[in-house]
Amino acid sequence: MTLFLLLSTANTLRRTSNCRPGVLARASRLYGRRMKSVSQPVRAVAAALVCLVIALAAALAVDSRLDRHWGLRGLTLFLAFCCASVLWTSKERKARPIIAFVGLLMFGLVFPVTSTTWSEPPEIKFALAVADDAVAAANKQASSAVSVADVKAAAEARGGAVGSLKTERNPEIRQADAYPLIIRAKKDQGRPWACLSFVHGLDAEIRTC
């Protein structure tokens, strides 16, 4: 639709470029009235479709082994649709389109994109790399499942560790012998860390914990 509007504008300007200024002004006013009469529902539907495409693309861009937060993304998309619906009914009040635009920008673009961008902090990236190494080790051994030993070896080879950090306050090491395992990027550092599980043989699931 945006391309159609741009082409229509270009054609109008080309046809009227050699006309008198009065003809050009009348053509501009006529074009403005036509745009105003059809732009309300068209802009609303177009904005909703763009938000839907952005939401799906941003969610699918997240690694399948991570939590894509479908519930939060669905809520954000619903709020974007609500803002798009304001464009449909904002005929009288001039402030409504501005509010709708800001809402669409935040809920339809900023939130989905930033959620995807922030889905892989350093501890998650380390856990993903450990999962890749553990799967490679299991495949090398012709094993149909990744063992805890494979994960520990992969984490230690990258300078990390498995299980919570042992301290005077918390002397017991947690989640080091069974899934989900705590994966630490540095062996002498505690949080932040990630939890890694292999629930279906070689299929990893990584979550913040």
Residue boundaries of the structural domains of the chain: 2-117, 122-208
For residue range 11-54, what is the model confidence (pLDDT) as tens digits?
443 444 444 445 434 543 443 444 455 467 788 888 899 999 99
The residue type found at 129 is A
* Buried/exposed code over 110-127 (b: 16+ C-beta within 10 A; e: otherwise): ebbeebbeebbeebbebb
The residue type found at 139 is N
| Residues 194 and 123 sit within 8 Å (Cβ to Cβ) | yes
Query: Does the pLDDT of residue 209 top 90, yes or no?
Result: no
pTM of the entire predicted model = 0.70
For residue range 111-169, what is the model confidence (pLDDT) as tens digits?
999 999 998 899 999 999 999 999 999 888 888 888 888 999 999 999 998 988 888 88
**3-state secondary structure (DSSP) of residue 150:** helix
